[in-house]
Amino acid sequence: MSEPSHLSGPVTDGPADPEHDATAAYGLDRSYVAGLTRRVVSTTGETHAVASPIGGTPLAHVPQSSPADVAEAFVRARRAQAAWAATPVDHRAATLLRLHDILLDRQDELIDLVVWESGKARKDAYLEVAHVALTARYYARTAHQHLDTQRVGGMFPVLTRAEVHRVPKGVVGIISPWNYPLTMALCDGLPALLAGNAVVAKPDAQTMLTALLAAQLLDEAGFPPELWQVVAGPGPEVGGAIVGHADYICFTGSTATGRKIAQGCADRLIGCSLELGGKNPMLVLRDADVQRAAEGAVRAVFSNAGQLCVSMERLFVADQVYDRFVDAFVSRTRAMTLGASHDWSVDMGSLISQAQLDTVTAHVADAVAKGATVLTGGTHRPELGPFVFEPTILEGVSADMECFGKETFGPVVSLYRFHSEDEAIERANDGQYGLNASVYTRDADRGRAIARRIKCGTVNVNEAYGATFGSLGAPMGGMRESGMGRRQGVEGIHRYTEAQSVATQRLVPIAPMFGMSEETNAKVLTASLRLLNKLGRA
């Protein structure tokens, strides 16, 4: 276990409770928590208590923001953004690179806090640090590629010069979820900062401390202190206020909430990007390496206890390998170590809350009651942690069961046998979602061809989600009800800019000249267009 010296001591503002205070080992001291929570813009005097999924340990009382606080956060952010937008791109990129190194230097502290707040396995928390560092480095190294003024073809060669500038939107509102508290708190905002914007962020109430530490690290890297404002409070109240003030919204969460945010953005005629729900499919083809596919399926389904937007909840396996795959998958799943702790040896950690546990339990109970078979798992394990639920594999799931089409967002997967690849693709495309998919086959070309027929924003061949998620130049996002817009790549930064076209006309106007009539001008223009076409010009 990691045990930084400043992460020890009483957690709460009152006397320590020996039954619920884990501060003797791996706790959070008052001054450390107070230093983080001071970053919240709040004048209400109200606080929200946060406890850990690890034994219910109290973590903090987070100040709550009012709509007036949100308005003030935008005032501060706009003031900082005006100066920041005028700084050279190289300066902004250098600041991101400093953040990259700080993240890696402070990884133990970050991982500890992520585990405390989310209950996830330590190895999953480490991947958050790595992904944010990758994001910072990618955008810093490609800053000029994405943001420099681009020359484009003018109306007439030599006579018309045209160029496109990338102008920052202004202040971006980011509403992030609890499942990846560091990744989601920072990764969408870093390209916004690089593009010259400011950010007002509303992290989820369950994982505020991680997001506040992330904001502190931005300060340490050299970003202006008021450039990144953090607010806290109920989603309908505070989130609505953010939509009411922002120049652009980035949201990750449920499809139902995403619809409301999109409606609010439409009313104000501002843009938004939304990563929403999924019911992600994995296809194991007849020529797949069964052991490799089984290993990949364990990560695909049970990473972060299934609380991952791109995790797999439906596995379609070819007849020819079905029995061998099931044996290997079940065996590997049963061998997993479970727990709610900071130890590196834990393969799968806890669900984050009673609400998530209730959903998972209800989906499994409903499936079993209607005839599904539990091949392994299916049981709540409170002796390991209040919200620990066993990794669960179901067979015989049908359309009348809750887990058939609804997102579980937990460690539960349904297995289906298929006879033909066309059938598998059709079933994978069934439903309203289209976020992520996976194809396992020994023939990579064939896998890529099948991937193009699957209606998902990302498809991984011989990998669950890491290949696309970790390829920062590749855009990531959903089709259909899984969202709109993309993070990562050029689309991940251009969403935070306005394209401004500037064209300069030389020598002659685009109009009749020298007393030429409109009719003659039309003939000259027509002849010019024909000539340019023959010359192969765009």
Q: What average pLDDT score do residues 91-116 get?
A: 97
HEC states along 104-160?
Answer: HHCHHHHHHHHHHHHCCCHHHHHHHHHHHHHHHHHHHHCHHHHHCCEEECCCCCCCE
- Res 513: pLDDT: 84
Angle formed at CA 330 by CA 329 and CA 333, multiple of 5 degrees? 85
- Res 510: pLDDT: 87
**Is 57 or 437 the better-scoring residue by pLDDT?**
437
- Res 156: pLDDT: 87
89-105 helix and 107-118 helix, angle to the nearest 10 degrees:
70
Measured torsion, CA atoms of residues 253, 257, 261, 266, in degrees rounded to the nearest 10:
120
Spatial distance between the Cα atoms of 445 and 217, rounded to a whole number of angstroms: 43
Q: What architecture is the 280-477 domain classified under in CATH?
A: 3-Layer(aba) Sandwich (3.40)
Q: Which are the catalytic amino acids?
A: 275, 309
- Res 31: pLDDT: 87
Question: Could you read off the pLDDT of 379-400 as tens digits, one per residue?
Answer: 999 999 999 999 999 999 999 9
Write out the CATH class of domain 36-275. alpha beta
- Res 119: pLDDT: 96
78-117: string of b/e by CB count within 10 Å (b at 16+)?
bebbeebeeeebeebbebbebbbebbeebbbbbbbbbbbb
In 346-388, where does DSSP find H-type helix?
354-369
Q: CB neighbours (10 Å) of residue 443?
A: 13
Q: What average pLDDT score do residues 49-72 get?
A: 94
- Residue 521 φ then ψ, to 5°: -60, -40
Checking if the pLDDT of 496 tops 50, the result is yes
Question: Could you read off the pLDDT of 347-368 as tens digits, one per residue?
Answer: 999 999 999 999 999 999 999 9
- Res 7: pLDDT: 33
Q: What does pLDDT average to over the chain?
A: 92
Predicted model pTM: 0.91
Question: Could you read off the pLDDT of 76-88 as tens digits, one per residue?
Answer: 999 999 999 999 9
Spatial distance between the Cα atoms of 461 and 283, rounded to a whole number of angstroms: 10
- Res 347: pLDDT: 96
Question: Could you read off the pLDDT of 413-460 as tens digits, one per residue?
Answer: 999 999 999 999 999 999 999 999 999 999 999 999 999 999 999 999
Express as a percent the part of the chain with pLDDT over 90.
Answer: 88
Band of pLDDT at residue 19, cut at 50, 70 and 90: very low
- Res 15: pLDDT: 32
- Res 27: pLDDT: 56
- Res 537: pLDDT: 86
Checking if the pLDDT of 178 tops 90, the result is yes
Question: Could you read off the pLDDT of 107-159 as tens digits, one per residue?
Answer: 999 999 999 999 999 999 999 999 999 999 999 999 999 999 999 998 888 99
Whether 351 and 307 have beta carbons less than 8 Å apart is answered as yes
394-400's contacts with Cβ under 8 Å and 24+ in sequence apart are 394/364, 394/367, 395/326, 396/371, 396/372, 397/367, 397/372, 398/370, 398/371, 398/372, 400/370
Q: Are β-strands 198-202 and 171-175 bridged in parallel, bridged antiparallel, or unpaired?
A: parallel
| Domain residue spans of the chain | 36-275, 280-477
**Is 10 or 203 the better-scoring residue by pLDDT?**
203
Query: HSE of 8 in the Cβ direction (CA atoms, 13 Å)?
Result: 8
Question: Could you read off the pLDDT of 192-220 as tens digits, one per residue?
Answer: 999 999 999 999 999 999 999 999 999 99
Distances from the Cα of 233 to the Cα of 48, 64, 130, angstroms: 8, 5, 29
Name the residue among 314, 330, 319, 323 with its Cα closest to residue 398. Answer: 314
Placement of tokens 């935070």 in the chain: 496
